[in-house]
Structure 1
Amino acid sequence: MAKYRKKPVVIEAFQYDGDLMDSNGKYYVPEWAVKAHKEGVIYFDSQDSDSPPTELYIKTLEGNHHASVGDYIIQGVQGEIYPCKPDIFEKTYVKVNENDNMLVSKEDCLARENGDNTLTPYEVVCADENVFVIAPVSINDDDSCTTDYEQLEAYSNDKSINSLEKLGFIKIED
Structure 2
Amino acid sequence: MEWTGARYADRPTVEVRTRIAAPPERVWALVTDVGLMPSLSSELREVEWLDGAAGPAVGARFVGRSSHEALGDWETTSHVIEYEPCRTFAWAVSDVDNPSAVWRFTLAPAGGGTELTQWMQLGPGRSGLSFAIDRMPEKEQKIVFVRLREFEQAMTNTLAALKKLAEDA
TM-score by length of 2: 0.27
Bigger CA radius of gyration: 1
Higher relative contact order (CA 8 A, sep 6+): 2
Q: What is the TM-score normalised by the length of structure 1?
A: 0.26
